[in-house]
Amino acid sequence: MADIEAVRAALSRIVDPARGEDILSAGMVKGLAVRDGAVSFVLEVDPARASGMEPLRKAAEAAAASVEGVTGVSAILTAHAPQGTARQAPKMAVPDLGLKDFTPKPKAPEGPQPLPGVRHVVAIASGKGGVGKSTVSSNLAVALAARGLRVGLLDADVYGPSQPRMLGITGRPSAPSPGVILPLRNHGVAVMSLGFMVEEGEALVWRGPMLMGALQQMLAQVQWGTLDVLLIDLPPGTGDVQMTLCQKTEVAGAVIVSTPQDIALIDARKGIDMFNRMGTPILGLVENMASFVCDGCGKAHHPFGHGGARKEAEKLRVPFLGEIPLHLGIRVAGDAGAPIVAQKPESEEAKAFWSIADGLVATLAARG
């Protein structure tokens, strides 16, 4: 098995010609990790030089790959401005995930494009964080796969990629040929996430252009095969990732996740408005954490209110896909890497996800 100190030694032999110092001593190597023979790190460079740093990244990647026991290397190039200084977006290529080179075509087709082999691309979105969007995404993906559909899940929540944990997947994707990334699989779902490229507690400190480039690279290079549905777990809000997805990819529609709380619904409305402006249909609303049943008295309680998402769906004339209870079992199952629909498919708390999955299938079928 590869030793991290041996990898450090190899990287210390790579010299940045502009600085005359090796990349390790210069502090350019961030987040170095070795896991089951797979090496991953970020090469942080001066934004002004970012466009010409790809050869240095490749040299660092090759050096790490030469270490005995290394089975693969993921080297990500990023640019970071010192604190207190203004930063201009550098002219740079699409961020490299460290698997194979990806160069966009000089004249890309205009407008949203279909993903080869994928029948429906469905965005799972929320106006704000903390409403359980990723939990809904993982359970919905597993439920759809259990219903016999060919399902993929792209974890595009680059600020907090949680699908590797929720779906119980470790390791890193392989790249059998240039421009091809093979997703990992579990519970019948093909999965791709930036969480496979970095350590679980490591933050991706990227600005908009880097995020958009990473999303396009994952969409363009991942070999999903033939899928009935590709779910995309988006970051919360109405930012660059959401806009890039809708502008570059044919999206069948978006599922909006919210709690019943008024403050969450305010932000959910903003998310709906953004998709409407982008011309992306709203496939439905999901009310998460709708209620919990007290173990002691057996009574249903509604800590965040009740029925807010249903009323919003009726107001906007979009499908209401269902309510999901606030239940300890759902959280425990997700933390354990086996969504509740896989761990306890017959449980009361799992029934909500089965119903939402069936509702989504019906909505997609009605749209053709």
How many helices (H) and strands (E) would you count in the chain?
A: 11, 17
147 and 205 co-located in one domain: yes
30 and 122 co-located in one domain: no
Residue that terminates a domain, selected from 79, 102, 128: 79
For residue 96, is it within any domain? Answer: no
232-257 pLDDT tens trace: 999 887 677 888 788 888 999 999 99
For residue 211, is it within any domain? Answer: yes
pLDDT at 302 over 90: no
313 and 255 co-located in one domain: yes
Q: What is the pLDDT of residue 326?
A: 87
For residue 103, is it within any domain? Answer: no
238 and 132 co-located in one domain: yes
Q: What is the pLDDT of residue 109?
A: 57
Answer yes or no: is 132 a known binding residue.
yes
Structure-block tokens of residue 266? 């305010």
281 and 204 co-located in one domain: yes
For residues 48-56, average pLDDT: 75
Residue that terminates a domain, selected from 48, 79, 110: 79
Of 192-201, 226-235, 337-346, which range is least confident?
192-201
Answer yes or no: is 133 a known binding residue.
yes
143 and 201 co-located in one domain: yes
Answer yes or no: is 131 a known binding residue.
yes
pLDDT at 83 over 80: no
122 and 54 co-located in one domain: no
pLDDT at 101 over 50: no
pLDDT at 357 over 90: yes
**Residues facing 282 on adjacent strands:** 254
Answer yes or no: is 127 a known binding residue.
yes
Which helix or strand (DSSP H or E) is residue 232 part of? strand 227-233
pLDDT bucket at 88, cuts 50 / 70 / 90? very low
| Mean pLDDT estimate for the chain | 81
216 and 296 co-located in one domain: yes
Q: Which positions ≥6 away from 100 have C-beta within 8 Å?
A: 175, 177, 178, 179, 180, 181, 221
Structure-block tokens of residue 153? 């899940």
- For 27, the domain range is 4-79
How many distinct structural domains can be found in the chain?
2
For residue 347, is it within any domain? Answer: yes
pLDDT bucket at 71, cuts 50 / 70 / 90? confident
For residue 266, is it within any domain? Answer: yes
For residues 83-91, average pLDDT: 37
pLDDT bucket at 208, cuts 50 / 70 / 90? low
pLDDT bucket at 47, cuts 50 / 70 / 90? low
Highest mean pLDDT among 23-37, 142-156, 163-177: 142-156
pLDDT bucket at 220, cuts 50 / 70 / 90? confident
Q: Which residue has the higher pLDDT, 225 or 41?
A: 225
For residue 111, is it within any domain? Answer: no
Answer yes or no: is 237 a known binding residue.
no
Q: Domain with 26 in it: what CATH number?
A: 3.30.300.130
For residue 108, is it within any domain? Answer: no
pLDDT bucket at 309, cuts 50 / 70 / 90? confident
Q: Domain with 242 in it: what CATH number?
A: 3.40.50.300
Q: Which residue has the higher pLDDT, 43 or 106?
A: 43
Distances (CA, A) of 2 to 10, 64, 157, 202: 12, 10, 30, 21
What is the rounded end-to-end Cα distance, in angstroms, of the chain?
50
Greatest distance between any 2 Cα atoms in the chain: 71
Answer yes or no: is 51 a known binding residue.
no
74 and 217 co-located in one domain: no
**Look-up: residue for tokens 């929540």?**
157
Highest mean pLDDT among 38-47, 79-88, 148-157: 148-157
Answer yes or no: is 98 a known binding residue.
no
For residues 128-157, average pLDDT: 91
For residue 98, is it within any domain? Answer: no
Q: What is the pLDDT of residue 207?
A: 66
The neighbour count for residue 5, using CB atoms within 10 Å, is 10
155 and 269 co-located in one domain: yes
pLDDT at 175 over 90: no
Q: What is the pLDDT of residue 74?
A: 76
Answer yes or no: is 208 a known binding residue.
no
**CB neighbour class for 222 (10 Å; exposed up to 12, middle 13-18, buried from 19):** buried
32 and 142 co-located in one domain: no
**Look-up: residue for tokens 């970071």?**
80
Residue that terminates a domain, selected from 29, 53, 79: 79
73 and 129 co-located in one domain: no
Q: What is the pLDDT of residue 79?
A: 57
